[in-house]
Amino acid sequence: MNQPKRNLTIRPTKRYMIIRVFPLLVFLFISLAAAYLIEDLILIASGVLIIMIAWQIIYLATVKYEITRTQIIYSRGVLSYETDYLEMYRVKDYIKKQSLIARILGIMNFTLITSDKSHPEFSMIGIQDSNIPDTVRKLVEVSRKTNRVLQVD
């Protein structure tokens, strides 16, 4: 079975960051254009938007999914950092989602349906479109056999 020899680390792509902040950028440019008419209020709104855009980009830069043979480790955070662990044998189903823009940019959202209490649905957002679904599926099969887990619905 084709398994990764070392852990696989995945992050949301830069293209996903652009998609995520694009509506805020459009609103920012509209606000800046309107700043010529109503100076003070629009400048404050523009400043808030710049902070929101920066925060979103910084947060997305901290998101990391690490796929090991037995777990998916999900880390994220700016001021406080959080790490969650999902055991491979808990994965029940997989969903790959791509909007038209995501298909054009070569990115995807990959959702795992699990029996985990804290993450019944676990999504890896904005990751590079790749063979990750096949890799995870194979690792889940191996993990279930190793841990002698039978899925009962």
Q: What domains, with CATH codes, occur in the chain?
A: 8-147 (2.30.29)
Q: Give CA–CA dist 146/10, Å, rounded.
A: 25
- Residue pair 9/130 in contact (Cβ under 8 Å)? The answer is no
- 44's CB contacts (< 8 A; 6+ apart) are none
Q: pLDDT in tens for each of the 153 residues of the chain?
A: 455 567 888 888 888 888 888 888 888 777 777 766 776 776 777 788 889 889 999 999 999 999 999 999 999 999 999 999 999 999 999 999 999 999 999 999 999 999 988 889 999 999 999 899 999 999 999 999 988 877 666
Dig out the tokens for 59 from the structure: 């947060």
Residue 28: which residues within 8 A CB-CB, separation 6 or more? 46, 49, 50, 53
Query: What local confidence, expressed as pLDDT, does residue 18 receive?
Result: 83
CA 85-123-143 angle, to 5 degrees, is 50
Q: Write phi, then psi, for 13 (nearest 5 degrees).
A: -80, 160
Q: Which amino acid is at 104?
A: I
> Where would I find the beta strands (DSSP E) of the chain?
8-10, 64-67, 71-76, 82-87, 91-97, 107-114, 121-128
| Rounded distance between C-alpha atoms, residue 96 and residue 112, angstroms | 9
Q: Provide the whole-model pTM.
A: 0.74
